[in-house]
Structure 1
Amino acid sequence: MSWLVEHRWPRWAGVVLMLLLILCVVGGFLAAAIPPLITQRQQLIDNAPTYLQHAQAHNSFIGRLNNRFHFIDKLRAAVAAPPSVSVDGILVAGKAVFSALTDTLIVLVLTAYLLADMPRIRTLAYRMVPHTRRPRVILIGDEILAKVGVYVLGNLIISVIAGGLTFAWLMAFSVPYALLLSLMVALFDLIPVAGSTIAGVIVAAVTLTVSVPLCVDTIAYFIIYRLLEDYYLIPRIIGRAVKVPALLTIVAVLVGGALLGVIGALVAIPVAAAVLLIIREILIPRLDEA
């Protein structure tokens, strides 16, 4: 929005463009996801007898696991059990769907209002500060907002890198639905700490349909990438952009995730950057004068 306004776009046009971009990304993901899911469902139904035969073969890896844990017997028992559909279950499912749709709509509306009214909101917030201290607060506040924006941009860049590398890996081994899985990895990677791990588990499960060695190699790939992202990409791209030391970047993400879960991990680095800025601009000068 700042870039568009600087290039003489009307603010309302920038808001519309941002919302259209968000809708295009979500719609593109659904367009890439729904047809393969429908196709995969039909293929699973058609190939179920073959899968069942391979799972019962005693000389295969999956067959040996079945002999030990009795997966097939448990699956047959679950399928044979009569479905229990209750009014309470329907109400709970409907409530979950309605809640998800409502939350999505609220996020879009709040995004639109914040994009449109951010200058007025910022001005009102600064007017709550005494006049003598207002210039210093405006300087620090604007720099904090700039660091938050840079952090979001850096996080998007890292997610694009994660999706691109995953797409190259899956295409190299002819894994089905490489584009869909890569988009999923990019979206999940926006969540620090846990996002890439969850995506890696899902991708590894899909590669298991190709071969067991490929599944093991994929797990190793995601472990190596996770270390590369945590200890190289995040400190280099995000930590350098928001001017937070690499060690503090990692510690902030770990502490934020431990305290507040996903939300804490998401806001950990901007909060650390804001705290460092306040310490550097306010606390350290006062200590030097003391």
Structure 2
Amino acid sequence: MVRGHILFAFVLLMGFGLVYLLAKELVLIYVSALFAAVLMPIVNRIMQTNIRGRRPSKAAAIFLIVSGIGLIVGIFLTVGLPPVLHDLNQFSAELPSRISKMISRLDQSPIANRLGVDAIAQRAEGALTTTASYLMTSLPNWLSHLFDIVSAIFLCIYFMLDGDRAYNFALSLFPTPHRQRLKTTLGRADDKISNWLIGQGLLMLILGISSTIVFAILHVRYFLLLGFLMGLFNIIPIAGGVVTITLSAIVAAFDSWTKMAGVIVFYIFYINVENAYLIPRIMGSSVELSGLTILISLLCGTALAGVVGALVAVPTAALIAVLLDEYAVYRDETF
């Protein structure tokens, strides 16, 4: 009996050690499986399409989806990304001189000496210059993760092709009386995650396009870069919007306070429209997580896996919430 406990503890420690060593690979597998689950409803819909009396196979449906995504990415890389990179390079080159001009305008205010504007400006200039330099110098490091991106794409394709077999095998590890309940629970969680990711993608697109148009109308410099960042970072709830609107307001303030005010007014207007109109119609009740839960999941996801962890934090929290609701929450029975 004691020998069995020792063996169990040894196997458990080996399992924890293996998870620690393969943390990066496990995150990659999890992200790939997550996006495969999101794309599978689209694959099934394509497979149900009747084309001259024939229905596309799963492989053909996946090929169409991958080709469509590849076409969109290719158009973005050749048409949309070069102006964004040009704006980023120009922004980092002109940043020190623009900070000096803005500080000179602040010095003319009567409370500048009390606030210690010069000292704050020196620190802000150093911090912003360091940040801009980091963004430019770390770009090759980001590109070095291309292998991970390609691996995730192939894993996602294989999950879509052979995911049903792996899913059924995982369910077979549970006793038969509990298997159907777990399958129903995971199906409900999959619906929530799929709806959230698709809805979040639409919200990112809407914010990116609308902010680019508004920034262009306001003649904000680097409006393509700022609009791109506004849409991209919108996938990170709360924190992404705060960071990007702060950056956009600072860039607009380099030219005039009027532009900065216009940027802030636009974002306040957009947030109200998004909360009152877009989210109820696009997202519906797909996740049903409180703001505190989202913040905690973002903090934990970022601490565990950086940017990737932040991206999958909310879907993971939705999955955990569904499992807890089914297996851990005790409800008072009403008679």
- Give TM-score, length-normalised by structure 1: 0.69
How many Å apart are 1:220 and its aligned residue?
Answer: 4.6
Task: Say if 1:177 and 1:43 are closer, same or farther in 2 by CA, change over 3 A.
Answer: closer
> CA deviation digits over 1:62-103, x for unaligned, max 9?
8989x93576xx99xx9xxxxxxxxxxxxx979835642222
* 1:32 and 2:80 are equivalent in the alignment: yes
Distance 1:205 1:27 in 2: 32
* Residues 131-280 of structure 1: pairs in structure 2 closer than 5 A: 131-222=176-267, 225-226=270-271, 229=274, 234=279, 237-238=282-283, 240-242=285-287, 244=288, 248-261=289-302, 263=309, 266-268=312-314, 271-272=317-318, 275-276=321-322, 279=325
Task: Say if 1:174 and 1:93 are closer, same or farther in 2 by CA, change over 3 A.
Answer: closer
Partner amino acid for 2:118? R
Distance 1:21 1:119 in 2: 23
Task: Say if 1:208 and 1:57 are closer, same or farther in 2 by CA, change over 3 A.
Answer: closer
Which residue is 1:130 aligned to? 175
How many Å apart are 1:119 and its aligned residue?
Answer: 1.8
> CA deviation digits over 1:229-280, x for unaligned, max 9?
56875566435134x2xxx432221121233325257433553465346535
Task: Say if 1:127 and 1:39 are closer, same or farther in 2 by CA, change over 3 A.
Answer: closer
Task: Say if 1:160 and 1:44 are closer, same or farther in 2 by CA, change over 3 A.
Answer: closer
Which residue is 2:46 aligned to? 4
Distance 2:250 2:205 in 1: 22
Q: Secondary structure at the match of 1:129?
A: coil
How many Å apart are 1:197 and its aligned residue?
Answer: 2.3
Distance 1:255 1:187 in 2: 21
Q: Is the CA contact 1:239–1:249 (under 8 Å) kept in the aligned structure 2?
A: no
Task: Say if 1:98 and 1:172 are closer, same or farther in 2 by CA, change over 3 A.
Answer: closer
How many Å apart are 1:159 and its aligned residue?
Answer: 1.3
Task: Say if 1:103 and 1:202 are closer, same or farther in 2 by CA, change over 3 A.
Answer: farther
Task: Say if 1:250 and 1:224 are closer, same or farther in 2 by CA, change over 3 A.
Answer: farther
- Give TM-score, length-normalised by structure 2: 0.61
Structure with the greater relative contact order (CA < 8 A, sep ≥ 6): 1 or 2?
2
Greater displacement, 204-213 / 93-102:
93-102
> CA deviation digits over 1:9-45, x for unaligned, max 9?
3222232233334434443443323145447857998
Q: Secondary structure at the match of 1:159?
A: helix
The number of equivalent residue pairs is 265
Task: Say if 1:181 and 1:3 are closer, same or farther in 2 by CA, change over 3 A.
Answer: farther
> CA deviation digits over 1:191-219, x for unaligned, max 9?
22222223223333443454232124313
How many Å apart are 1:281 and its aligned residue?
Answer: 7.6
Partner amino acid for 1:23? G
Q: Is the CA contact 2:47–2:57 (under 8 Å) kept in the aligned structure 1?
A: yes
Q: Is the CA contact 1:193–1:257 (under 8 Å) kept in the aligned structure 2?
A: no
Partner amino acid for 1:267? A
Question: What's the % identity of the aligned pairs?
Answer: 22
Distance 1:41 1:264 in 2: 26
Distance 2:157 2:168 in 1: 18
Task: Say if 1:202 and 1:135 are closer, same or farther in 2 by CA, change over 3 A.
Answer: same
Task: Name structure 1 gaps, 5 residues minimum.
Answer: 79-91
Task: Name structure 2 gaps, 5 residues minimum.
Answer: 1-42, 50-54, 130-136
Which residue is 1:88 aligned to? none
Task: Say if 1:233 and 1:22 are closer, same or farther in 2 by CA, change over 3 A.
Answer: same
Structure 1 vs Structure 2 CA RMSD: 4.4
Q: Is the CA contact 1:192–1:265 (under 8 Å) kept in the aligned structure 2?
A: no
Task: Say if 1:25 and 1:201 are closer, same or farther in 2 by CA, change over 3 A.
Answer: farther
Task: Say if 1:255 and 1:97 are closer, same or farther in 2 by CA, change over 3 A.
Answer: closer
* 1:68 and 2:145 are equivalent in the alignment: no
Distance 1:268 1:98 in 2: 26
Match of 1:20 among 57, 67, 73: 67
Task: Say if 1:216 and 1:98 are closer, same or farther in 2 by CA, change over 3 A.
Answer: closer
